[in-house]
Amino acid sequence: MARCPELEIIEDFYDAVECERIYRRLLHEQNWPDNRYAVAGRQFTLPRLQTWHADPGIRYSYSNNLLQTRSWTPLLSEIRTQIESTLNFSFNSVLVNLYRNGNDYVGWHSDNEPELGEQPFIASLTFGAERQFEFRHKKSSENGRVLLRSGALLIMQPTFQHHWLHSVPIDQNVMEGRINLTFRKVVPANQAKCLIFDNSKHVSATTYRFWLKRRDRQKNLRAH
Ligand SMILES: O=C(O)CCC(=O)C(=O)O
Ligand SMILES: [Mn+2]
């Protein structure tokens, strides 16, 4: 099984208590829409529930065809702020997926719509049940998977979408729900080509873990 250098994972971005709080709130506050859609006169059922939130003026064809754009809720804004300050990157939208149980899934795809620009940087947060995230190289036979646990932040570097497909397959052993948030940056069409991703601005997972430990040490110091 391949390791994928274009994926980084930060386990425990949120601890168990925070995960429980966030999962419950999202589950009850999101006002989930029906998952039956009609596009160009054809009906289909999405194998999960979804909401899409974006800054004013942001248009995304996937979501515009399927979903109405909602504004940011206080909880989603709070999470966005925490992710942005950790990754030193600003996102203007989030796709929220509810997998009601292991029968809900997302099929093979890459998030490479033109609106995400040539360098789509995506940060993906998981709450609730753990599920496998699978990836498969577009040209070679390489493939692999990572287990996404509650509280984990998966960072998909821009080239991940160029080289790999990903999916969260059905897992009939999973009875509980899972909520996943993928933070994205939709760029205006006339800027899509010139959004150059500046790697040097990013905090790697290793640096981040180091930073977290330091922050916790400081918290303990303050607490005593
Ligand atoms: O649920 C996940 O972990 C992935 C979701 C995803 O790939 C997407 O929303 O594009
Ligand atoms: Mn995706």
Establish if 2 belongs to a structural domain. Answer: no
Which ligand gives the minimal distance to the CA of 160? Answer: 2
Overall average pLDDT of the 149-160 stretch: 96
pTM listed for this prediction: 0.86
Establish if 43 belongs to a structural domain. Answer: yes
Establish if 53 belongs to a structural domain. Answer: yes
Distance, CA 182 to ligand 1 centroid (Å)?
7
Of the pLDDT bands very low, low, confident and very high (cuts 50, 70, 90), residue 171 is very high
- Helix/strand/coil (H, E, C) string of 135-175? EEECCCCCEEEEEECCCCEEEECHHHHHHEEEEECCCCCCC
CB under 5 Å of ion ligand 2: residues: 111
Cα dihedral 162, 72, 200, 194 in deg (nearest 10)? 60
Q: Whose CA is nearest to atom 1 of ligand 1?
A: 180
Rounded Cα gap, residues 11 and 121, in angstroms: 19
Q: What is the pLDDT of residue 192?
A: 55
Rounded Cα gap, residues 128 and 96, in angstroms: 13
Of the pLDDT bands very low, low, confident and very high (cuts 50, 70, 90), residue 222 is very low
| Ligand 1 atom showing the smallest separation from residue 166 Cα | 7
**Domain CATH for 190:** 2.60.120.590
Q: Which regions of the chain does DSSP assign to beta strands (E)? A: 7-10, 36-39, 42-45, 49-54, 69-70, 93-99, 106-109, 122-128, 131-137, 143-148, 153-156, 164-168, 178-184
Overall average pLDDT of the 115-120 stretch: 86
Residue range of the domain that includes 57: 7-223
Establish if 144 belongs to a structural domain. Answer: yes
Among 109, 121, 124, 165, the mutation site with the greatest number of ligand 1 atoms within 8 A of its Cβ is 124
Establish if 1 belongs to a structural domain. Answer: no
Tokens of 189: 């069409």
Q: What is the pLDDT of residues 58-75, one digit of tens each?
A: 887 765 566 789 999 999
Distance, CA 187 to ligand 1 centroid (Å)?
20
Q: How many domains does the chain have?
A: 1
Of the pLDDT bands very low, low, confident and very high (cuts 50, 70, 90), residue 115 is confident
